[in-house]
Chains A and B, each alone.
Chain A
Amino acid sequence: MTDAATTAPVRKPRVGLFATCLMDLFRPSVGFAAVKLLQDAGCSVEVPSAQTCCGQPALNSGDFADTRDIARQVIETFAGYDYVVGPSGSCMATIKNDYPQLFVDDAEWRLKALDLSRRSYELLSFLTDVLGVREVTASFSATATYHDSCSGLRGLGIKAQPRALLAGVKGLSLIEMDDSEVCCGFGGTFCVKYPDISQKIVSDKVANIQASGADTLLGGDLGCLLNMAGRLKRLGNPVRVYHTAEVLAGMADQAALGDPEK
C-alpha cells in the first residue's frame, strides 16, 4: 500500500535533551537510555553543552536572582528545538511550571519562558502523551515496584505513563507498594539540611518497598532514587534500584544504582 502520507519524508522532531545535573554527574546511563528511547520513537536528539542545571537548588533556597540567570541560560540554550525533554519530573516541572512564574515582571523573558514551557516534557510523558508510544521492546527479569516522585506526579501528572510502558517489558511484573505517592524524604537540599527528618521519611519508604516483596525499585527522578538506594544499601537490603528509562531502553544490564560494577 502506498499513499502520499506514508511515503512523503517526514521531518523528524528535533529534541534537545535536558541532561539533568544528577544524571550528568551520577548516572550517564540514564541519559543514554533517554537518547535511545527518543531515537527509537523517531526523534533526532541533540545534547547542548551549554547546559548545567535547571536552577532548582537556587529556586528552592529562595535565591531567585541566581535562578533567573540560570533560567535565562536554559531558555537560550534550548531555543529552536521542537521539544526539550529530560529524564526527570522534578527538573522538567521546574522548567515547565516555575520558569514562567519567575518572570512575571518581565514580559520579554516571560514570553520566552512560556515558549520553552510549552515545548518541555518529562521523558516518559513525552513518549506516551506526545509521541503516542504504547510499547517498547525491552526485557528485564524483575518483580518491580514504582515510586511516584512528587514533582512529576503532582506537577506534571505523571502516574499512568511509566506504568503503561513498563507493562510491556518482557519478564517484568509490576507490583504496587503502599504509599507509592508519598515523598521519599529527598527534597533536594532538604535531605542534608534536615537529615534526621529525612532519614525517618526514607526509612518509612524503604519499609514499604520491602513489604511489597519487590526485588527492584524503579522511579523517574534520580534525586529520589539516590536517596532510596542509599538507604537500602545502608540497611543491607538487596533491592536493585534503576531509573525507569534504563529498563525501558533495555539498558538495565549494568550495575544498579549503588551496586558494584559487575
Chain B
Amino acid sequence: MQPLSRQFKQRATIAIKDANLQAALGKAKEGFVGKRAAAIAELPEFEQLREEAKAIKDHTLANLDFYLERYEAQVKKYGGHVHWAKTAEDAQRIVLDICRKANAKTVTKGKSMVSEECGINEVLEAAGMEVVETDLGEYIIQLAHEPPSHIIAPAVHKTKAQVSDLFHTHHAKFGLTRRLTEVADLVNEARQVLRKQFFRADVGITGGNFLVAETGSSIIVTNEGNGDLTQTLARVHIVTSGIERVVPTLDDATTFLRLLARSATGQETETYTTISTGPRRSGDLDGPEEYHVVLVDNGRSRMLGGQFRDMLRCIRCGACMNHCPVYGAIGGHAYGWVYPGPMGSVLTPLFTGLDVAYDLPNACTLNGRCQSVCPVKIPLPDLLRELRHRQYEEKITPAYQRLALSAWAFLAKRPRLYHAVMRIPVGVLGWFGRGRGSFASLPLASAWTRSREMPAPQGKTFQQAWRERMENRDERRT
C-alpha cells in the first residue's frame, strides 16, 4: 500500500468532521479501554507478566539470528517450507509463486497485518486470483475497498448502519437481498457467505502472532475461528509474519498469550488460539498439504541495531491506539498507511521514510498513556521524540519551525535579555487584558485562538514581580 501519510493533516481534519467515524470511534474507545481495565484488575500478576514479556523479547531480539535459524530448522523438520523476504516486493513475489504453483483460483485470508504491509492482496488480484478476507472486519473493509483503520479491529471506523448497507449491496449476488439491522443477523449472513469460500479456497494465508523456535510452530489467535478454517481447509497454508515475531519456546509464547488478549480486547484469552506445526501428516484428519512460512524483514533488521530496537517487541495488541487521544480523535485512516496510532507513528516513518511520514511522530502530545498500557513496555513517547530529533537533524522539520525555535532558544540561553524582552508583551497584553480576562484573537496566535480564548497574562512577569517584592522588602528594612 502506498503511504498517504503526507496528507495527514488534511485527512485528520476530514476525520474529525466525519459524524459516522466519530460515532464509531466513541463507541470503540469505551469498549476497549473499559474491558482492558477490568481484565487487568482481575490479574494481580499483570505487571510482573509485562516485565517477563519484555525480558523474553529483549533476549530474543538480542539473539534473533540464532532463534530464526532454529525456527527455520524446526519448520523444515516437520515438513514445512521457510522463505526469507528481505523486502515487501520479495514477499509479494514469494506468495504469488506459491499460489501459482498451487494453481490457485481462490485465496482465503485470515487477518495478517504483514500481508497488508506488503500489499499481498493487490498482487494476487492482479494475477487473476480471487482473494477473500475472512476476518469479519477485514471482510467488511474489503467490500468497502478501504484499508484497515485499526490493527486488531480493521473496520472499527464503520457504524452498524454502514455495514448493513455494504452487505445489502454486495450480498445480493448470493441471493441474500434482505436488509439486515441486527448485529447477530449481519454476522450470520457474513458467515453464510464466507463458509462457501472456505471450502472453495486453494490457498489460505494467515498471519502469525507468534513463531515458536522450539517447535517450528506458528500461533494465531482469533475470535471468529476464521483463521482455523483458512489454514486447515485450503490445500496450501501460507503464514506471513515479521521476523521479530519469533519466541524461543512454547512456554514463552504462553506469557504473551496471557498479555495479548487482555491488552487487546480485555478477554482472558481469545476464543481461538491455534498452534500449527507443518502440513498434514499421514493419519491426520485435516490440515493443508503444504505449509509455508514467509519471514518478512522489510526494514526490521535495520531497526535491530539502533535506538528503535524496543519497537520490535511490539505484539500488535492495539492497546496504544485504544488509549491514544489523537487516535481517538481522528481514527486510523488519517495516518495514511497500514499501522496507525502510536505504534504506527513509530513504524511508518521507519518503513516509509522520515519525510513521507513527517507528521506522524509530531502529531502526538507525548502524554505517555500508550507506554503505560503497552504490554511489552515500549517507550513509545521516547521513540517518537527520537524520530523528531532525526527529522530535525536531517532538516526535514519545516524551516519556519526551525527558525522560530532558534529565535526562542537564542533568548532562552540569555536570561537577562530574555527577561527584559518578555516584560514587553506580558505588560502590553496584561494591560489590554485586565478588563476582559482573555483574548478572542491575537496577532500570530490564530492557531491557538481558532478554538480557544487566550487567557491574558497578569501584567508583570514573575521574575519582575519577584524582584520588585524583594526590593520593597529591602527598602522597608533600611
A residues apposed to B, CB below 8 Å? 19, 23-29, 31-32, 47, 49-53, 55, 57-64, 66, 69-70, 73, 150-151, 154-155, 181-183, 185-188, 190-204, 226-227, 229-231, 233-234, 255, 257-261
Contact = CB atoms under 8 A, between A and B. Distances in A.
Contacts of B466: 19, 28, 31-32, 47
A78 B25 CA distance: 46
Contacts, number: 216
Given A25-B426, A154-B367, A190-B365, A201 B325 contact: yes
A23 B369 contact: no
Interface in B413-466: 413, 415-416, 418-419, 422, 426, 434-438, 440, 445, 447-448, 450-458, 460-463, 465-466
Contact of A154 (B329, B368, B387): B368
A186 B16 CA distance: 17
Given A26-B457, A70-B413, A154-B369, A198 B405 contact: no
Interface of B: 9, 12-13, 16, 325-326, 328-330, 359, 362-369, 371-372, 385, 387-393, 397, 401-402, 405-406, 408-409, 411-413, 415-416, 418-419, 422, 426, 434-438, 440, 445, 447-448, 450-458, 460-463, 465-467
Contacts of A31: 462, 465-466
A23 B435 contact: no
Please give me the 10 A-B residue pairs with the lowest Cβ-Cβ distance, nearest first: A187-B365, A230-B452, A62-B388, A62-B392, A258-B455, A150-B367, A199-B451, A183-B367, A28-B462, A192-B447
Given A182-B325, A194-B9, A231 B388 contact: no
Contact of A62 (B372, B389, B412, B440): B389
A63 B409 contact: yes
Could you tell me the dominant secondary structure of chain A's interface residues?
A: helix
Nearest to B10: A196
Contacts of A26: 426, 455, 457-458
A199 B363 contact: no
Contact of A51 (B388, B409, B411, B415): B415
28 contacts: A24-B463, A49-B415, A52-B413, A52-B415, A53-B412, A61-B397, A61-B405, A62-B388, A62-B393, A64-B392, A182-B325, A183-B367, A187-B366, A190-B364, A190-B366, A192-B448, A194-B362, A197-B12, A198-B451, A199-B450, A200-B330, A201-B326, A204-B325, A229-B453, A230-B438, A234-B451, A255-B437, A260-B435
B50 to A, nearest CB: 15
B325 A185 contact: yes
